[in-house]
Structure 1
Amino acid sequence: GRRITVHHLLSMTAGHPADSLAQAWEREPGDLAKGFLSLPFAHREGTRHVYDNSTTYILARMLEQVTGTGLAEYLDARLFGPMGIEHAEWDRVADGAVFGFHGLHLTTEAVAAFGELLRREGAWGDRQLVEPDWVQRATRQHAASQWTLEGADQKDFSYGYGYQFWMARQGYHGHGSYAQQCLVIPSHDLVVALTAQGEAQEALDAVWDCLLPGVGHTASARDDQALARRLRHLQLPMVAGSAGPRRSITATLDASLPHSALPDKTNVTVHPARGGWRVQFGSILQVEAGYRGWRESAPLGRPIVATGAWQGDTFTADLCLITTPHRVRLTLDAGTGTATATWSTPPLTGPSLQLHAQSPLMTRPDVA
């Protein structure tokens, strides 16, 4: 452990055989750094890249000790504020520290701006926010990489790893779960920002196969009109069906399905309301759902947009946590008096909808 340097942490070449996060937290829930260091190192430092979230957590804590301020506050002052990014929300553990390795919520535009800052080698307007030498070092290969994901070809993760960035077929990318991407292609003066719910490799393949071949080609006015027309009509699909009965219906939640968002036996009540419904999940939270439209509410501080409809005796609603790639599908069967609420993709920090809807965001109160 004494031989591990900042370089090894940044390049994720500390020597663990696999991501150490789960084991390190299990050993030391109150001190992840201690847990990380207490695990056996299978490889000599600097010799093998393994994607290891703990290394980034430790880097965040090191920065805080050196600067005397929290990571979130440091980046607001040094980076996001000067860039005009007014809202950067972080997921935090019990003592208020940000994870560092995940849980930063930004708009798509802010992700694109961050990529543009990198493309300009740290320059923003007339200010040099990050030293060019640092950007160059961070975005070049320091270790060979191989991404292993069962049943999937992840070739865009096999071009090497820099300092917290993956090298790509062209340029480099910052990679988040569920296809969150910030792809920078300096040779084409191009930044691609993706906030989505999907597979990263599929998204990157679309860039290489569909987007990049068209860069630099002049489109006709007809092409521009067709694209503008398509963009105007893009939307998330709404639940099909009718407005249903104009009375309140209550059911009991069955949490036996995988990725249930709420506790078993929670009472779920659908109340008719003007233009939609109020959906009450026991004493946990209440959200508004629109009929043939989306309705936004923030019952615990973070925004949820929802839409629903009745199909016979079944009420179905989609609840989208719009600052994340996640959504919950609610089904309520009035005939059987049962309901389910399941995540389309389970959040990394656990399935509790209540925790993910709260502000400030703190999805791991069991970790100090």
Structure 2
Amino acid sequence: MASQRTLLPRSTPAASGISSRSIATLLDRLEARSVECHSLMVVRHGHVVAEGWWAPYSAERPHLLYSLTKSFTSVAAGLAIADGLLSLDDRIVDVLPDHVPDDISEQGRRLTVHHLLSMTAGHRTDSLAEAWQREPGDLVKGFLRVPFPEAEGARHAYDNPTTFILARMVERVTGRGLPELLDKRLFKPMGVDHAEWDRVASGAAFGFHGLHLTTEAVAAFGELLLRGGVWGDRRLIPREWVELATGRHTDTLQIEDWSENPDALCGYGYQFWMSRHGYRGAGVFGQLCVVVPSYDLVVAVTGAITQEEAVLDPLWECLLPGMDHVGSTRDDGILADRLRRLSLAPVPGSAARERSVKAGLDASAEDSALPDGTTVIVDPVDDGWLLRLGPYLNVEVGHGEWRECSPLGRPVVAAGAWQGSTFVAELYVITTPHRVRLSVDADAGIAVATWNTVPLTSPSLALHLWSPLMTRPDVA
């Protein structure tokens, strides 16, 4: 894969006033707590001072950002407002009149861009599932039909459709799709030439989810915000919008089914979370862009992390104490070598290259990635294996190394081994936080395929490997 251009200059921790040992301590903490990071980039005084990817993840790979996408949609709204095409007081019903249900409530009629950006529309919980259930083909209309138990502006609730509607409003007033708008106004001027978007069946970008960017592009976005919207000698985002979007607009409450994370209770801006230190764009499973102005610091993280505090706590407790403590060039070298060697654990076991097996998929296991009864065939080929998963999904698997293929248009990276009479493979959907563990019992003729973390849009492995990427094809 061709490398993306370098977006940020490089330096060393010592030259930028950070102790390399504090970054090493951060890595120690993550490893001790079995936190599955896929990448880490630390930027101080505008320079990348530490960067690493846990193989098979790598620098040139875009990674699904989940709800970190929301912060980019906020910037798109800010651009539309700066252009005089939208205002914080504009109402949904006025901008998107063709999406207004006949039974809309008076509160629904009053909802504005401000309420969407701050997620204070009046729902107590995320309305996404109910809104799509009420109106499978029109999420805007479905959202407006979900009852509002709280007054608008009174209470924050993490509510995904607010960002979807915001994206549609920006598109309506600018006449451009969200991806096209951000490509022209943000990504291309920054030098980001590879932004991918997950979409619904109509072709619209989710807005609240679905952007794929490299780790460096995420870090560069944080640096752009830290510099008040200026990139090089060019202003890309109005300073007023950066300050407004990353400022605190509402209190936040403990969200049901979320872990108790102190940073989740620090307040919410306009599609940005406030933190104990600075602010952040955040996506589920640990996709983070952390900006700490007081230290002139940006940290970008991707991973498959079930609890956000598993990363934020070590940042505050390990990394920040190393600010403004100059380390040694020797420590810098030790850290750089460690970062180069980061890797997720390979599948242990033997090659047994003459062995093949055919089995049926048992989907009764929780978090199954394949339909029940799928025929699974494992054949040895080229110092590895070829997996045939049903009639059309063929995946190449390496032994002692990761092997890449794109059976349906999007890449999957896989490695495997025999463990006694069981063949085990890890299938990384490499542009996402997710992977599938396939276990094939040759004696019983039974296979099981389960996700490490189930994708929020669909558990179907095939759906995440199709190109173009469209993980909600039932939504027009």
Instruction: Please indicate the TM-score interval, normalised by the length of the shorter structure.
Output: over 0.9
Among 418, 424, 428, the alignment partner of 1:320 is 428
Q: Name the SS of the counterpart of 1:22 in structure 2.
A: helix
Q: Which residue number corresponds to residue 247 of structure 2?
A: 140
Matched, 1:221 2:337: no
Quote how far apart the aligned CAs of 1:150 are: 3.9
Match of 2:190 among 50, 63, 83: 83
1:16-55 matches, cutoff 5 A: 16-55=123-162
Q: CA deviation at 1:225?
A: 2.5
Name the SS of the counterpart of 1:345 in structure 2: coil
Partner Cα distance (1:326, 1:226) in 2: 30
Question: For residue 210 of structure 2, what is the amino acid of its counterpart?
Answer: G
Structure 2: gaps spanning 5 or more residues: 1-107
CA shift digits 1:74-102 (9 cap, x unpaired): 11111111111111111111111111101
Q: Any idea what SS the aligned residue of 1:244 has?
A: coil
* 1:223-265 deviation line (CA, Å, top 9, x unaligned): 2222123212211111000001414311111111111111111
**Does 2:104 match 1:104?**
no
Q: Is residue 275 from structure 1 mapped to residue 383 from structure 2 by the alignment? A: yes
Aligned length: 368
Counterpart for residue 367 of structure 1: 475
SS of the residue corresponding to residue 2 of structure 1 reads helix
- Asked if structure 1 preserves the Cα contact closer than 8 Å seen for 2:353 and 2:384, the reply is no
In structure 2, distance between residues paired with 1:4 and 1:33:
12
Answer yes or no: is 1:194 the counterpart of 2:301.
yes
Superposed displacement of residue 126, structure 1 = 1.2
The correspondence for 1:158, drawn from 257, 262, 265, is 265
Stretches of structure 1 lacking an aligned partner (at least 5 in a row): none
1:114 aligns with 2:236: no
Q: Distance in 1 between matches of 2:251 and 2:389?
A: 48
SS in 1 for 2:426: strand
Amino acid in structure 1 at the alignment position of 2:434: H
Deviations 1:104-152 (A, max 9, x none): 1111111111111111111111110100000000000000112324473
Structure 2 counterparts to residues 10-21 of structure 1, below 5 A? 10-21=117-128
Q: Which of residues 414, 436, 440 in structure 2 aligns to 1:306?
A: 414
Q: Specify the alignment match of 2:445 in structure 1.
A: 337
- With 242-251 and 282-291 compared, the bigger mean Cα shift is at 242-251
- What is residue 207 of structure 1 aligned with on the other side? 315
Q: Is 2:353–2:383's contact at 8 Å kept on the other side of the alignment? A: no
1:168 pairs, out of 253, 275, 287, with 275
CA distance in 1, matches of 2:257, 2:121: 24
- Work out the CA distance in 2 between the residues paired with 1:83 and 1:72: 15
Aligned to 2:85: none
What's the secondary structure of 2:363's corresponding residue?
coil
Matched, 1:238 2:346: yes
- Measured after TM superposition, the shift of residue 365 of structure 1 is 0.5
Cα deviations by residue, 1:248-291 (Å, 9 ceiling, x for unpaired): 31111111111111111111111111121111101131111110
Task: Classify the secondary structure of the residue corresponding to 1:238.
Answer: coil
Cα distance in 2 for residues equivalent to 1:112 and 1:132: 18
Secondary structure of the structure 1 residue equivalent to 2:427? strand
1:179 aligned residue: 286
Q: Of the candidates 277, 283, 296, which is equivalent to residue 404 of structure 2?
A: 296
Question: Is 30-39 or 128-137 further displaced after alignment?
Answer: 30-39
How well do the aligned residues superpose, as a CA RMSD in angstroms? 1.1
- The one-letter amino acid paired with 2:333 is Q
State whether residues 107 and 323 of structure 1, in contact with CA within 8 Å, keep that contact through their aligned partners in structure 2: no
| Mean Cα deviation higher: 286-295 or 146-155 | 146-155
Question: Is the partner of 2:415 in helix, strand or coil?
Answer: strand
The normalised TM-score by structure 2 is: 0.76
Any conservation in 2 of the 1:115–1:184 contact (CA below 8 Å)? Answer: yes
* Per-residue deviation, residues 302-329 of structure 1 (Å, max 9, x unmatched): 1111100001110000011111100100
Of structures 1 and 2, the one scoring higher in RCO (CA 8 A, sep 6+) is 2
Which one of 58, 61, 78 corresponds to residue 168 of structure 2? 61
Instruction: Answer yes or no: is 1:250 the counterpart of 2:351.
Output: no
Q: Given the superposition, is the C-alpha separation of residues 150 and 20 from structure 1 closer, same or farther in structure 2, using an over 3 Å criterion?
A: closer
Query: What is the TM-score of this pair, normalised by structure 1?
Result: 0.98
Q: Does structure 2 conserve the Cα–Cα contact (< 8 Å) formed by 1:280 and 1:287?
A: yes
Change in 2 beyond 3 A, CA 1:349/1:150: closer
Counterparts of 1:148 and 1:37, CA distance in 2:
22
For each residue in 1:338-357, what CA deviation from the matched residue of structure 2 results, as whole angstroms up to 9, or x when unmatched? 00111000001010000001
Moved over 3 A (4+): none
